[in-house]
Structure 1
């Protein structure tokens, strides 16, 4: 497994969870698994976790050289390389033997995100590597996308021509009977995830400001940490809503469920996602989501049943106004206990369809098929 972050990395998110569950699946099927990843500040060079050997080296940029050397050192004894694309893949086909099985995992297309996070020359390079080079290097490699919209974007934005199978993320929430719609507070809203610019938590803060006139008891819980936290705290103060917003930072799994069980609404305003992991986690607690109608989020929300989708626009002010209106509608509907009961049941039923056990079963089948095909090729 070659993934540029592991679960203990300070910037870990849903793609890291997917990579770890994939690794667990391979280990449980009898494979010896090395998890090649970058080394965050304070992390050791290697660990053994759940029987999986984690090998760390390099940072956001130098990791790719570290991964290349790690693959070259293992070249003669590798049966399989799983290569998740987190903006830029590890280019594993260039470093392993022709008889080593390969699986590429694509979470989402990053063309806009390169421009959001990097200066123009570096953003252009990232866009070219993803749009032009990656489809050529990985031509013929067995490919997994985590959502239908990711697959559609691969075709539309990257010109992808090979077959792609969709294997969605799973989720692991506590037993459904732990949650109760009667315990949800009508004016409590939650945001869950890393605090980074493309998650657009600032749009949610502005929406909270817009809605306080009609809903004076409105409160927002922000669950997560990230480099955007200081800016968001300052924005909440600037908007005059600091006392309405609680930034919880990193929370344990147990604390996450405690906070989500109190919310009546979850909001996801990201520019794009591979799959709405946080949407499904909220749904597992019986909490519906207002989300932008963008890749990933549109796959994880069932409009009219488990949430509301907000039409997207290039103008973020327009998106913000639409988000405020959708949140106002959602909170008004959910103020009715009967509506809340119906939404609660629909959300939990939807979330129940996505389990890590189901995901692990399918990726194990894919990996086994690729290794088997590779071994037949060796005998030939």
Structure 2
């Protein structure tokens, strides 16, 4: 049994990737401690599915001040550096697994690394691309050059690097990271939570119900950020409000862009059609929240900050048998084709509205898309794919 520390600037309960990894290790008998943020009401420490979760005294900043994000990252880094270091000196860790963003959080494992403990850096998002999109900056901008440098230094400090998409591995190599040190661990649903649903059985159950008594329900869950294009989805619903009065959009989650989205729905006269959850929803509750959805909407903007993202939610919809209409970003097209998802023109709410209109009228196509999207999980099912992670962990701690 290995003793493993994991850390991430995240809310542990609602972060599927870190939970999936930590709980998989705990389930096989490893002793796992996870250092993360603390929300209001969180205890300083708790045990979840065998993982000892240690909430450091810092909440996630939500707002529009970029310097506050930097301050939050730095505060979490220093807290993690001391907390992980002190815990290691009391009783040695066999491995430390640090999750970005930021990449430099890996240096919080400095004391374990200096004493010979291997360290994994798990790059969820590439910071240079995220901030190029955020600020409209080119590759030569001083901020982007600084982010590239900290990414390379972080990768060099780590014993090994994980990332979440094959396309992201390619860009990390372009940035100068050692290809021999990088493995891909895709974001795929945990089958304990997202049990695969047979789309045909799901449709049969829906057909047995009184279809006239229920709305045509669009869904999106996760972070509400400008780059994810939820304003496009709201504008599409507004275009359809007279023609398709049964269409509603459920937005399940939270984020910096939420207030603007609420205001936009009100401004466009669809506040009664666009329904917001009360903040982020725990992973365990998501399948129930999504049950009965007719169509998932992933209106991601096609820009540099989203080019290398495969939305976890898309794969979760595939597991639950929910068809999806998506913007065809570079990485989504790498894994999915037109037989698995419906595409619309990125950034174009009229194109999204037209695709929703077509799918609203064609339940057979919706069912076909839902069936075909399951091919991704046939290839990358977590029960098999997690062996990539286990093999890496075992190799490093030997």
- TM over 0.5, shorter chain: yes
Q: Which among 297, 304, 308 is matched to residue 267 of structure 1?
A: 297
Offset at 1:240?
1.4
Offset at 1:114?
3.7
Give the equivalent residue in structure 1 for 2:186. 168
Give the equivalent residue in structure 2 for 1:282. 317
Say if 2:335 is the partner of 1:306: no
Say if 2:268 is the partner of 1:209: no
Q: Whole-Å Cα distance in 2 between the matches of residues 21 and 336 of structure 1?
A: 35
Give the equivalent residue in structure 2 for 1:83. 98
> What stretches of structure 1 of length at least 5 have no aligned partner?
312-318, 373-380
Q: Whole-Å Cα distance in 2 between the matches of residues 4 and 281 of structure 1?
A: 23
| Partner secondary structure for residue 275 of structure 1 | coil
Q: Whole-Å Cα distance in 2 between the matches of residues 295 and 168 of structure 1?
A: 16
Q: Which among 154, 158, 162 is matched to residue 144 of structure 1?
A: 162
Q: Which among 76, 83, 98 is matched to residue 63 of structure 1?
A: 76
- Deviations along 1:239-297, one digit per CA (max 9) or x if unpaired, are 11122222233456676435534333211123426432111111222222222233554
Q: Whole-Å Cα distance in 1 between the matches of residues 78 and 285 of structure 2?
A: 38
Give the equivalent residue in structure 2 for 1:364. 390
Q: Mapping of 1:302-341 within 5 angstroms? A: 302-310=336-344, 319-321=346-348, 323-329=349-355, 331-333=357-359, 335-341=361-367
| Pair 337,267 (structure 1): closer, same or farther in 2 beyond 3 Å | closer
Q: Whole-Å Cα distance in 1 between the matches of residues 253 and 117 of structure 2?
A: 38
Give the equivalent residue in structure 2 for 1:292. 327
| Pair 108,73 (structure 1): closer, same or farther in 2 beyond 3 Å | same
Give the equivalent residue in structure 2 for 1:378. none
Offset at 1:367?
0.4
Offset at 1:333?
4.4
Q: Whole-Å Cα distance in 2 between the matches of residues 214 and 354 of structure 1?
A: 39
Does the aligned pair in 2 maintain the 1:87–1:130 contact within 8 Å? Answer: no
Say if 2:127 is the partner of 1:131: no
Does the aligned pair in 2 maintain the 1:107–1:275 contact within 8 Å? Answer: no
| Partner secondary structure for residue 105 of structure 2 | coil
Q: TM-score, length-normalised on structure 1?
A: 0.80
Does the aligned pair in 1 maintain the 2:99–2:106 contact within 8 Å? Answer: no
Q: Whole-Å Cα distance in 1 between the matches of residues 122 and 384 of structure 2?
A: 17
Offset at 1:126?
6.8
Does the aligned pair in 1 maintain the 2:344–2:351 contact within 8 Å? Answer: no
Does the aligned pair in 2 maintain the 1:211–1:324 contact within 8 Å? Answer: no
Give the equivalent residue in structure 2 for 1:314. none
355-364 or 145-154: which moved more?
Answer: 355-364
Q: TM-score, length-normalised on structure 2?
A: 0.77
Q: Whole-Å Cα distance in 1 between the matches of residues 356 and 248 of structure 2?
A: 15
Say if 2:394 is the partner of 1:345: no
Give the equivalent residue in structure 2 for 1:27. 26
Does the aligned pair in 2 maintain the 1:147–1:299 contact within 8 Å? Answer: no
Q: Whole-Å Cα distance in 1 between the matches of residues 281 and 378 of structure 2?
A: 23
| Pair 189,48 (structure 1): closer, same or farther in 2 beyond 3 Å | closer
Does the aligned pair in 2 maintain the 1:25–1:361 contact within 8 Å? Answer: no
Offset at 1:204?
0.9
Q: Whole-Å Cα distance in 1 between the matches of residues 381 and 11 of structure 2?
A: 20
| Pair 53,288 (structure 1): closer, same or farther in 2 beyond 3 Å | same
| Pair 103,329 (structure 1): closer, same or farther in 2 beyond 3 Å | same
Say if 2:185 is the partner of 1:180: no
- Deviations along 1:74-100, one digit per CA (max 9) or x if unpaired, are 445121111111233413364322621
Does the aligned pair in 2 maintain the 1:204–1:269 contact within 8 Å? Answer: yes
Q: Whole-Å Cα distance in 1 between the matches of residues 82 and 144 of structure 2?
A: 24
| Partner secondary structure for residue 263 of structure 1 | coil
- Deviations along 1:155-198, one digit per CA (max 9) or x if unpaired, are 34x33333322111221323524852252879432222122333
